């Protein structure tokens, strides 16, 4: 463990440069640049509130915040895992030329999306204040959710980065899986509609929904569900351990397939 930490510290500057590169490439040729990380979730929130607020006949004035909290966390998970999946193949030229710890590529892919995600939270803060949802003593639980979503995304990203090297179709399969996951996260609807229908297990066994629920409760000033907190914590760090194990076990074979 000590050796791995020393190796990480040795290449931490390169990690920072890879994160900066990822942010620059994401907003390349964009006039507004990183400002889009604020405008995009705001516009999506407005559209989704109009569509689903009308569809479900929802007059709750805090519904935009409900949608925004779910959309922001899911979007980070989606973008972070997709970037991780392609991280090894997209950096194949560098991998073939110089030695760099390969785990830095999926890590930087997750981190640059995480930086953009944190910036986009400014929109959530402003909308919450405008709509009268103010911080309470439970707001610190939002930090727990932010840590869990980062760990979970990186863990899943490491698994996908490994699979993506050996199975090129994984990119398309994961896009389909993300669509299913989105509808299992109760982003656009209140979960009671699904819970009352007898399909509550779909939400309860979805760790991403649990993390989103913890974050929402913290934003709305409620104590998060302890069972969801424990489950999502175990699942997030479990996925991280599995991801690190799988990646480390197969990383020496990457050079033969990229």
Residues 144-184 pLDDT 10s? 999 999 999 999 999 999 999 888 889 899 999 999 999 88
**Where does the pLDDT of residue 203 fall: very low under 50, low under 70, confident under 90, or very high at 90 and above?**
confident
21-28 long-range contacts (CB < 8 A, ≥24 apart) are: 21/108, 21/112, 22/83, 22/108, 22/109, 22/111, 22/112, 22/113, 23/112, 23/115, 23/116, 26/112, 26/116
pLDDT > 90? residue 217? yes
Q: What share of the chain is helix, strand, coil (3-state, %, to 5)?
A: 80, 0, 20
Give the whole-number percent of the chain exceeding pLDDT 70: 90
pTM: 0.90
């Amino acid at each position: 463990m000590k050796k791995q930490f020393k190796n990480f510290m040795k290449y931490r500057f390169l990690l920072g440069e890879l994160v900066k590169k990822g942010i620059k490439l994401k907003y390349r040729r964009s006039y507004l640049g990183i400002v889009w990380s604020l405008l995009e979730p705001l516009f999506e929130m407005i559209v989704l509130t109009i569509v689903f607020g009308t569809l479900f006949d929802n007059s709750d004035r805090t519904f935009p915040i409900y949608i925004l909290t779910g959309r922001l966390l899911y979007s980070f998970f989606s973008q972070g895992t997709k970037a991780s999946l392609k991280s090894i193949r997209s950096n194949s030229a560098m991998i073939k030329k110089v030695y760099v710890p390969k785990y830095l590529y999926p890590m930087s892919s997750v981190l640059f999306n995480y930086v953009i995600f944190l910036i986009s939270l400014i929109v959530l803060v402003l909308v919450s204040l405008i709509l009268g949802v103010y911080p309470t003593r439970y707001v610190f639980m939002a930090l727990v959710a932010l840590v869990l979503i980062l760990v979970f995304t990186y863990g899943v990203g490491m698994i996908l980065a490994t699979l993506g090297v050996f199975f090129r179709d994984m990119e398309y399969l994961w896009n389909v899986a993300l669509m299913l996951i989105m509808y299992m996260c109760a982003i656009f609807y209140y979960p009671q509609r699904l819970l009352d229908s007898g399909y509550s297990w779909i939400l309860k066994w979805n760790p991403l929904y649990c993390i989103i629920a913890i974050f929402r409760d913290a934003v709305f000033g409620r104590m998060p569900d302890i069972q969801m907190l424990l489950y999502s914590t175990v699942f997030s760090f479990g996925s991280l351990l599995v991801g690190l194990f799988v990646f480390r076990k197969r990383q020496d074979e990457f050079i033969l397939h990229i």
